[in-house]
Amino acid sequence: MPKLSVEDLAKISERVRKTTLLRDGAGRAKITVHMGTCGIAAGARPVMSALMQEVEKRGIQDVILTNSGCAGLCSREPMITVEIRDEAPVKYVDLTPEKAIKVLDEHVIGGNVVQEFVLARGSEKEA
């Protein structure tokens, strides 16, 4: 193992940045894949795997990928919710792995909502 220089410290930081961001709960964007029983039955797991692989492949560091339970609209699963910092959450429906990657590419990275897959913008009201 070569001895570290001062610059190497920053490189290691960068390499592990994804871990640090995830544990600090920071990150520019968050993608939630809904994986209640309905979601899983409809194919949410391949969507999750596809997103994970794509994020890894492209070396994306500042996006948090997580799952949650059923969002409530079981007939339109698989669904994901995209939250970009300081913007309203966007819900996408009837997804496949390919469509999810398109959302990652055009919305999360590119900043443009993919209209054809969108259900709605905003969150539900709480009681």
Partner 1 sequence: MGIQDTGKYRLHLMLCAGTACVSNRSFEIKKAIEAELKKHDLENEVAVVLTGCNGFCAVGPVMTVMPDEIFYHSLSEENIPHLVEEHFLKGRPVKELMFTPPAEESVVPKMSDIGFFANQTLVALRNRGLIDPENIDEYIARDGYRALAKALTEMTPDEIVEEVKESGLRGRGGGGFPTGLKWSFCRGAEGEEKFVVCNADEGDPGAYMDRSIVEADPHSVLEGMMIGARAIGARNGHVYIRAEYPLALERLELAIEQATEYGLIGENILGSDFNFHIHITRGAGAFVCGEETSLMASIEGRPSEPRQRPPFPAQSGLWGKPTNINNVETWATVPVIIDRGADWFRTLGTEKSPGTKVFSLVGKIANTGLVEVPMGIPLRQIVYDIGGGIPNGKKFKAVQTGGPSGGCIPAELIDLPVDYEHLTEVGSIMGSGGMIVMDEDTCIVDVAKYFIEFTNDESCGKCSSCRDGSAALLAILERICAGQGRESDLQLLEDLCVAIKDASMCGLGQTLPNPVLSTLKYFKEEYEAHIIHKKCPAGVCKALFKYKVDAEKCKKCGVCFKNCPSGAITWEKKQVAEIDQDKCTKCGICQEVCKFESIVKE
82 near partner 1 (CB under 8 A): no
Question: Residue 6 or residue 115: which is nearer to partner 1 going by CB?
Answer: 6
125 near partner 1 (CB under 8 A): no
C-alpha span between 117 and 109 (Å, rounded): 16
Give 28-87 as a DSSP string: SEEEEEE-SHHHHHHTHHHHHHHHHHHHHHTT--SEEEEEES--S-GGG-S-EEEEETTS
Number of residues this chain uses to bind partner 1 (CB under 8 A): 40
Site residues, partner 1 (CB under 8 A): 1-6, 9, 12-13, 15-20, 22-25, 27, 30, 32-37, 40, 45, 48-49, 52, 56, 64-70
